[in-house]
Homo-oligomer: A and B are copies of this chain.
């Protein structure tokens, strides 16, 4: 008699506590304890822009004074969207009845009302604090009494004379479109999965990165104060060893040095920012002398970019996007068979569960800074060593 047929198989469940991002969800509250990049600086302008972050729809704009603002879209008066608002010197004016709000949601004018609104100070448009740094707009969507400092990163703070910062929101590292249509965690935990590299990125689809990456590495995983780190050693056959260090840092930072193997400490950081439970965007900052450094990182297939491939070519030459998206919009974690090579993924999930409990119990999650030194040290990189 046949054994193991699908007739007896019952699919497992997703681990929603790790994947959901909305307000009040377990990991959504962890994410909300950190500043998050939500847009490029250039996205904040006199033209209001809709952004979706952690399941919340918001309107981003920049006042005539140059200050970025991030407001709840439905006008506090009658609910017309501030997407249609007119940006002025000090705020944004709703198109319907002309109420004006500043970047902290205070109502400055109610032009149809007597004396421009005698009680306009009783109205507050819901808002979030924002900052600009590294060419990105950062927002804090968490509890006001826990708002930390916006951190700096050592690898982005020191640049050689010919280097500058490059900012990107087009999905560098995702292997697909700018907005990725599946759960963010499938991408983030992939950072701790160095074993897929020689299979997916070399055996399957040609050398998507560099020939050295086709070698099966020796890997060590370790917890850090702020996340999980993996150190991969590849013996290059010429007496040298490539020691490659990748890591994730809470709550959603990816530290993946160039897969083209630029030597030294990484010059790239990326944030895996959930739009909602079923989509995310990657914001990347790099430090390099070449303005097109990040664009050149992206894989091509016979000279074609990902977006130019046919469905048949996508099937034949899958990359990170195809592998991770095909796990499902939200993968069924309960079906996973984690084994020795999945140790990094298992460690990350354990640490996430631990921090969910920590935050729910009133604690501060790892890496938030309230005073003192706001510079975070990054260990990742490609290090070529003589044996």
Interface of A toward B, CB cutoff 8 Å: 1-7, 9, 11, 23, 32, 47-48, 56, 58, 72-74, 76-81, 83-84, 86, 95-98, 104-105, 110-114, 117, 119, 123-129, 141-145, 147, 195-196, 198-200, 203-205, 216, 312, 315-316, 318, 322-324, 326-328, 331-332, 335-337, 339-342
Contact = CB atoms under 8 A, between A and B. Distances in A.
A326 B84 contact: yes
A79 B328 contact: yes
B318 A196 contact: no
Q: What is the copy number of this chain in the assembly?
A: 3
B327 A74 contact: yes
A4 B84 contact: no
Contact of A72 (B6, B23, B327): B6
B4 A204 contact: no
A95 B322 contact: yes
Contact of A113 (B48, B97, B340): B340
A30 to B, nearest CB: 14
Given A7-B143, A7-B144, 14 more contacts: A1-B144, A1-B145, A1-B147, A4-B125, A4-B127, A48-B315, A78-B327, A78-B337, A79-B326, A79-B336, A80-B327, A96-B199, A97-B196, A97-B199
B3 A144 contact: yes
Contact of A84 (B6, B126, B318): B318
A173 to B, nearest CB: 16
B124 A4 contact: yes
B79 A335 contact: yes
A199 B78 contact: no
A84 B322 contact: yes
A337 B112 contact: no
A80 B112 contact: no
A11 to B, nearest CB: 8
A217 to B, nearest CB: 10
Contacts of A199: 95-98, 111-112
Contacts of A73: 326
B328 A95 contact: no
Most buried by B among A2, A111, A205: A2
Contacts of A145: 1
Contacts of A112: 195-196, 198-199, 216, 341
B126 A315 contact: no
Given A74-B332, A95-B322, A97-B195, A5 B339 contact: no
A141 B7 contact: yes
Which 8 pairs between the two chains have the least Cβ-Cβ distance? A81-B326, A6-B126, A4-B124, A112-B195, A84-B318, A98-B199, A2-B144, A9-B126
B339 A113 contact: yes
Residue from A86, A96, A114 having most chain B Cβ neighbours under 10 A = A96
A6 B78 contact: no
